[in-house]
Amino acid sequence: MYDVIIVGGGLAGLINAILLSRAGLQIALFEKKSYPFHRVCGEYISNEVKPFLVRNGLFPTDINPTEITKFKLTSIKGKQANLSLKMGGFGISRFAFDHFLFQQAQAAGVTILQNHKVTAIEFETDGFQIIANRQSYQSKLVIGAYGKRSALDKRRKFMTKKSPYLGVKYHIKIDLPTEEIALHNFQDGYCGISQVENSTFNLCYLSHRNNLKNKSIDEMETTVLHKNQFLKNIWNNADFVFEKPEVINEISFEKKELIYDHILMCGDTAGMITPLCGNGMAMAIRSAKLLSEMIIQKWDKGRFNRKNLEHSYRIIWDQNFASRLWTGRQIQKLFGSEWSSNAAVHLVKQKWLGSLIVRQTHGTEF
């Protein structure tokens, strides 16, 4: 019997686990894989989260993240715009950062069950039963932090709408500006690239599934992505570190239920921000801080008002993220076609307008 079980060991799950365990709660975290491992992710984090991470001893200084201060946007036809990022951010791989946070969670006393796939979460009377690897576990609260899409989501509304997007990620070695995050458009998709640790660049793109029709990923990249000259040059000059890319299908940007059957959703499981400079990692960290603090505040030696907790979490989530998620969905419409990508470049060239758009997809420091 645990106070809180967390399903999923990404940023949201690990941050929740660390903060709750440090506050004295009995925490179990289930992760279906074994650390360290790669995830499909943009691997850029805005500096809005840095004070929080530093304050809690969770900033990975020894990994030497890359400082990022500039943004480049290109259209399908190669038009470009450049912008200084006032707040800035840092680049770090999920392979390194998740493993670092995993070690911090272990040190905080979290019970971490790796290679444990949760197959069922059932709310019963006033608690939960979780099934993983054919074993049963109980808890008073469950946090769903299992990522963008899971079999556990089969009863949630957003799963009824098929998503046409897939995500593909590589790590590469290449000579590019280290302080810059770039976003390159191609037909029905866009590709982000920025440096992480160890002089390595993360290359991650989102594409409509139609681009892959009757093609391999290699063929799609050659026939579709390379029509953007910037992307063609990157592929021609890069050394690819992975033997094969990390791929995820049916990435959904639909609005998701924040709480389902009393499970408190957090990070991408609660709602994904569409990329401009790739800020989902910062949102996952902030959402974990908000949720864990809310639980600690409402916790009274194991007694709490579930209805009040859920109501308070909905309010604070909407205050912090509803506007950002809506804005992200609107900005998404400016990417992936020749006309709209040219329009996006034109908007970003208007420095004040470009800065405003970036601010709308980022939060303030906390």
Q: How confident is the model at residue 157, as a pLDDT?
A: 82
Q: How confident is the model at residue 353, as a pLDDT?
A: 65
State which amino acid sits at residue 78: G
- CB-based contact 73:345 (threshold 8 Å): yes
Q: How confident is the model at residue 361, as a pLDDT?
A: 66
Per-residue pLDDT for 358 more than 80? Answer: no
- CB-based contact 101:110 (threshold 8 Å): no
Which residues, including other chains, have CB under 8 Å from residue 128's CB and lie 6 or more apart?
5, 121, 122, 138, 139, 140, 141, 142, 262, 263
Tell me, yes or no, whether 366 lies in a domain.
no
Which residues, including other chains, have CB under 8 Å from residue 120's CB and lie 6 or more apart?
129, 130, 131
Q: How confident is the model at residue 298, as a pLDDT?
A: 95
The tens digit of pLDDT for each residue in 315-338 reads 999 998 887 777 766 766 666 677
pTM of the model: 0.93
Q: How confident is the model at residue 75, as a pLDDT?
A: 92
Per-residue pLDDT for 236 more than 50? Answer: yes
Tell me, yes or no, whether 207 lies in a domain.
yes
Tell me, yes or no, whether 181 lies in a domain.
yes
Determine phi and psi for 225, rounding to 5 degrees.
-65, -40
The tens digit of pLDDT for each residue in 27-83 reads 999 999 999 999 999 999 999 999 999 999 999 999 999 999 999 999 998 899 999
Question: Which range among 229-243, 251-265, 341-355 shows the weakest confidence by mean pLDDT?
Answer: 341-355
Angle between helices 338-349 and 351-360 (to 10 degrees): 110
Tell me, yes or no, whether 365 lies in a domain.
no
Cα separation, 118 vs 133, in Å, equals: 7
The tens digit of pLDDT for each residue in 40-53 reads 999 999 999 999 99
Tell me, yes or no, whether 182 lies in a domain.
yes
Per-residue pLDDT for 275 more than 60? Answer: no
The dihedral built from the CA positions of residue 67, 61, 172 and 282, taken in this order, carries a sign that is negative
Tell me, yes or no, whether 34 lies in a domain.
yes
Higher pLDDT pick, 333 / 25: 25
Question: Which range among 108-122, 241-255, 301-315 shows the weakest confidence by mean pLDDT?
Answer: 241-255
The rounded mean pLDDT for the chain is 91
The Cβ of residue 123 has, within 10 Å, a number of other Cβ atoms equal to 14
Burial grade of 2 (CB within 10 A; 0-12, 13-18, 19 or more): buried
Domain count, the chain: 1
The three-state (H, E, C) secondary structure of the chain, written as one string:
CEEEEEECCCHHHHHHHHHHHHCCCCEEEEECCCCCCCCCCCCEEEHHHHHHHHHCCCCCHHHCCEEEEEEEEECCCCCEEEEEEEEEEEECCHHHHHHHHHHHHHHCCCEEEECCCEEEEEEECCEEEEEECCEEEEEEEEEECCCCCCHHHCCCHHHHCCCCEEEEEEEEECCCCCCEEEEEEECCEEEEEEECCCCCEEEEEEEEHHHHCCCCHHHHHHHCHHHCHHHHHHHHHCEECCCCCEEEECCCCCCCCCEECCEEECHHHCCCCCCCCCCHHHHHHHHHHHHHHHHHHHCECCECCHHHHHHHHHHHHHHHHHHHHHHHHHHHCCCCCHHHHHHHHHHHHCHHHHHHHHHHCCCCCC
Q: How confident is the model at residue 277, as a pLDDT?
A: 45
Q: Pairing between strand 165-173 and 246-249?
A: antiparallel
The tens digit of pLDDT for each residue in 249-274 reads 877 777 789 999 999 999 989 886 66
Report the pLDDT averaged over residues 207-230: 94
Tell me, yes or no, whether 300 lies in a domain.
yes
Tell me, yes or no, whether 43 lies in a domain.
yes
pLDDT interval class at 242 (50, 70, 90): very high
Cα separation, 305 vs 312, in Å, equals: 11
Cα separation, 150 vs 259, in Å, equals: 15
Q: Using alpha carbons, select from 73, 66, 41, 358 the residue that is nearest to residue 231.
A: 73
- CB-based contact 40:217 (threshold 8 Å): no
The tens digit of pLDDT for each residue in 133-190 reads 999 999 999 999 998 878 898 888 888 777 788 999 999 999 999 999 999 999 999 9
Provide the domain limits for residue 137: 2-360
Q: Residue 189's domain is classified under what CATH number?
A: 3.50.50.60
